[in-house]
Amino acid sequence: MKKNPVKDPSRENGEVTADADINKYVLKLYVADMTPGSVRAIANAKHICEENLAGCYRLEVIDLYQQPHLAKDEQITAVPALIKTLPLPVRRVVGDLSDAVRVLAGLDLPRKTT
């Protein structure tokens, strides 16, 4: 199966990546330091992605203590916040991401069927 180029919004130069499967879903998780809630949200996000999007996602964890300007740029008002940037439309959920069904529905992501 031929893979279509995908414009990667996380690359500063807007470089096109050839591997559309890896970047089919692009998610950014915003946290504030390594608090227990942040650590839990990171683990939950990774688990949700591996269970439901294995092999076709990229998850970027951004610590707003280290990059506070991104909070304004992305209009982050509460953390942890998980944002799906691709595919469009952009969707976001806030919280520790412990309710996988809610997270998948809120981000309009496919749920793995057993």
- pLDDT reported for residue 93: 97
- pLDDT reported for residue 112: 82
> If 0-12 CB within 10 Å is exposed, 13-18 middle and 19+ buried, where does residue 94 land?
middle
Domain that holds residue 92: 23-106
Low-confidence ranges of the chain (pLDDT < 50): 1-18
Residue 18 lies in a domain: no
Residue 40 lies in a domain: yes
Candidates 37, 86, 32; CA nearest to 58 is 86
- pLDDT reported for residue 1: 36
Rounded CA-CA distance 13/11 in Å is 6
Give the CA radius of gyration of the chain: 14
- pLDDT reported for residue 9: 43
Structural domain count, the chain: 1
- pLDDT reported for residue 37: 94
Residue 9 lies in a domain: no
Length of the chain: 114
- pLDDT reported for residue 109: 95
